[in-house]
Amino acid sequence: MTLLLENISLTIGDVLLLKRFTISIEAGEIVTLMGPSGCGKSSILAYIAGDLTAPMRATGRVMLNGVDLVRMAPERREIGRLFQDDLLFPHLTVGENLLFGIARGGSAERRDLVNDALSRAQLEGLENRAPHTLSNGQKARVALFRALMAKPQAMLLDEPFSKLDAELRQSIRNYVFAHLRERNIPTLLVTHDREDAPLGGRIFRISNKGDLIRA
């Protein structure tokens, strides 16, 4: 699995926010994109996912396993996402949230999938709980496994650790990275905090002039 961002540039109106750049993310690799607020980090993720809205505009090719995604509908791209907020659906239980991206299957099969995910997430027995009864750490793990259970071909992380407290932040970060690497998923992480970047991974920084610089 490879995610290739080729000749991507980003503008708002007539203003060029991000000059043309190319990054290739290999299977299991986590690449970090850093920059100050408003520099267009999240918009790049939105472009890759297919839901960039006006006045932002981007050009360039987004290739996933050799297929150009740019004209593909967002729901067909098979790209998982994690946001600052866990965004668990409040009207569904934990189990139903986990199954939200799963294609149809028998009820026994689906139950097994939920139990397996909860066991891996160390959340056994919580399948019938409402999301608001979970702690922040538990919610973050459910959100991760909901995304992973849909078997994404690539993953986009939009500052997913920024709202967690310092202690939880480190453990969840390591937890997320470990699972993404285990599944060989190419991942692009956007953050403004260098501490969130995985050790040894490639880091790119967006300069004030809109250049993408390897840090």
Partner 1 sequence: MKQWLNSFGGFLPLGIVWLCPLAAGLVAVIYGARDGAAWSALFDHPQLWPALILSIATGTLSLIISALLAFWIVAGLYGSKLWSGSSGLMGGFLSLPHLAFAIGFGFLIMPSGLIARMLGNFSGWTEPPQWITTQDPYGLSLVAVLVLKEVPFLIWLIGALLARPDISQMLRGQFRVSQSLGHGSGSIWLRVFIPQILPRLKWPLLIVWFYGASVVDVALAIGPTQPPPLAVIIWSDLNNADSVINARGTAGSLFLTAILTWLALVFLALQKAILPSIWNFLTRGPSRRRTPRITSGVFLFLFCAAYAMVFIILCVMSVGTLWPYPDLFPTESRWTAWGLFFTSPAPLLNSLSLACASTLAALALAIIWLETVPEKLDTALLVCAITALALPTLVIADGQYLAFLHLGLNGTWVGVFLAHLTPVFAYVFIVLKGPYRAFDPRYRSVSLGLNTDPYRFWSSVKLAMMKPAMAAAAAVGIGVSVAQYVPTQLIAAGRMSTLPIEAVTLSSGGNRPLLAVFALMLAVVPALAFIAAARFGRKTL
Sign for the pseudo-dihedral over CA of 74, 78, 83, 87: positive
The radius of gyration of the chain from alpha carbons, rounded to an integer in Å, stands at 17
Residue 81 touches partner 1, criterion: CB under 8 A: yes
CA distance 34 to 60: 20
Calculated CA dihedral for residues 59, 63, 69, 75, nearest 10 degrees? -120
Residue closer to partner 1 (CB basis): 66 or 90? 90
Residue closer to partner 1 (CB basis): 99 or 123? 99
Residue closer to partner 1 (CB basis): 51 or 211? 51
Residues 147-186 that bind partner 1 (CB under 8 A): 147, 150, 152, 156
Residue closer to partner 1 (CB basis): 45 or 197? 45
Residue 49 touches partner 1, criterion: CB under 8 A: yes
Q: Give the distance from CA 11 to its chain's centroid.
A: 22
Q: Give the distance from CA 168 to its chain's centroid.
A: 18
**Which of 41, 139, 146, 179 touches partner 1 (CB under 8 A)?**
146
**Which of 4, 8, 31, 99 touches partner 1 (CB under 8 A)?**
99
Say which DSSP state 75 is in: G
Q: 148 in helix, strand or coil? A: helix
Residues 186-215 that bind partner 1 (CB under 8 A): none
Give residues in contact with partner 1 (CB under 8 A). Answer: 49-51, 73-81, 83, 85, 87, 89-92, 96, 99-105, 110, 146-147, 150, 152, 156
